[in-house]
Amino acid sequence: MWRLSNKYNFSKVGFIKFFLGYHISKNYRLVYTVNKKRDMVVGFNFIEYKRIKRLIVDKAFRGRGLGKKLIPKYCQLVYTDNKRRAVGFYEKMGFKVIGKRNDKVYIMKR
């Protein structure tokens, strides 16, 4: 998972603290999927309350429906970058743009 989240510039220690915090807290959830052939995590979603905090699927495994499986029905809010692919993905999942946080981030709700 640390390898997948590298674009966020976590140090290994920082990622472990972040990861453990999600396992300990009642308000946070971690959803992930494993590729059994490669014995590795290929996608995960950190959820804060009912908001998608960080959803990542390995590039080699995109387009297979893994992202859909990583979004539980109770997730109601996501802040995502304004890349069309990200917005389009969440729209397919039932989210609608309700505003902007800034020039780069859309707020979406379902």
Q: What is the share, in percent, of the chain residues with pLDDT greater than 70? A: 84
Q: Residue 71 falls within a domain, yes or no? A: no
How many domains, the chain? Answer: 2
Asked if residue 51 and residue 30 are part of one domain, the reply reads: yes
Asked if residue 82 and residue 56 are part of one domain, the reply reads: no
Predicted TM-score (pTM) of this structure: 0.75
Q: Is the pLDDT of residue 8 over 70?
A: no
Structural domain for 18, as ranges:
1-66
Asked if residue 56 and residue 24 are part of one domain, the reply reads: yes
Q: Residue 3 falls within a domain, yes or no? A: yes
- What digits encode the pLDDT tens for the residues 86-100? 999 999 999 999 999
The vertex-20 CA angle with 17 and 24, nearest 5°, equals 135
Asked if residue 59 and residue 92 are part of one domain, the reply reads: no
Q: Residue 98 falls within a domain, yes or no? A: yes
E-assigned strands of 2-103? 28-35, 40-48, 51-57, 77-81, 96-100
